[in-house]
């Protein structure tokens, strides 16, 4: 694959979590979160993107979100559970994405706010259609995802280098 071919990044916030008496990292999904995670999986399939790699936070709620979403996929992409995603800033997430091997064309990152929403805002140098308007109007609620396109090698990903191509949230 040429590094000049367009790449796609999907930034996916975990579904709605419950608040039992456990550490934040160990919080599971709420019932609503389980339903929304499966619906998000169906919507991700509808994008037509064939993911080469998934980077998922190690938090229980992100792992549960991924398990329910990927169940809807025709094939499971390689998945890496990455502890650096938990509580990561947008800059830390960019640094992590810069490490992605160039043979991965389409990447799914499952993480947390405010990092995921901040990253979508920071990377988006432009937008297609009304995706940016919808994202700004809705914010980045639980189980929402943004689809971004960019050209070049992963190490060249930096603020403003991507285009927001699509956005979906459970209430859309």
Q: Which two tokens stand for residue 155?
A: 């190490």
SS3 state of residue 72: coil
The position carrying tokens 């689809």 is 147
> Is pLDDT larger for residue 3 or for residue 22?
22
**Across all residues in the chain, what is the average pLDDT?**
94
Rounded Cα distance between 107 and 26, Å, is 25
Three-class SS state of 71:
coil
Q: Comparing C-alpha atoms, which of 42, 87, 43 is closest to residue 61?
A: 87
The pLDDT confidence band at residue 138, using thresholds 50, 70 and 90, is confident
Does 163 belong to an annotated binding site?
no
Q: For position 139, what pLDDT does the model report?
A: 86
Q: Averaged over 86-107, what is the pLDDT?
A: 97
Q: What percent of the chain has pLDDT over 70?
A: 97
| 166 class by beta-carbon count within 10 Å (0-12 exposed, 13-18 middle, 19+ buried) | buried
User: pTM here?
Assistant: 0.95
Q: Could you please report the per-residue DSSP string of 140-171?
A: --TT-EEEEEEES-GGG--TT-EEEEEEE-TT
pLDDT at 142 > cutoff 90:
yes
pLDDT tens column, 62-73:
999 999 999 999
> Which residues 6+ apart lie within 8 Å of 24 measured at CB?
59
Mind listing the domains of the chain with CATH numbers? 6-168 (3.40.50.1240)
Burial class (CB in 10 A: 0-12, 13-18, 19+), 1: exposed
């Amino acid at each position: 694959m040429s590094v000049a071919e367009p790449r796609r990044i999907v930034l996916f916030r975990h579904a709605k979590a419950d608040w039992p008496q456990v550490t934040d990292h160990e919080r599971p999904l709420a019932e609503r979160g389980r339903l929304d995670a499966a619906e998000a999986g169906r919507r991700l399939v509808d994008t037509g993107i064939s993911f080469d790699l998934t980077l998922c936070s190690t938090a229980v709620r992100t792992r549960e979100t991924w398990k329910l979403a990927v169940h809807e996929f025709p094939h499971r992409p390689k998945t890496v559970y990455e502890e650096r995603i938990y509580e990561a800033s947008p800059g830390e997430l960019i640094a992590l994405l810069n490490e992605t091997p160039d043979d991965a064309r389409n990447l799914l990152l499952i993480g947390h706010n405010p990092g995921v929403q901040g990253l979508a805002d920071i990377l988006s140098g432009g937008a297609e259609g009304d995706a940016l308007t919808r994202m700004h109007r809705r914010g980045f609620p639980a189980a929402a995802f943004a689809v971004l396109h960019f050209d070049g090698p992963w190490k060249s990903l930096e603020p403003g280098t991507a285009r927001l191509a699509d956005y979906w949230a459970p209430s859309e």
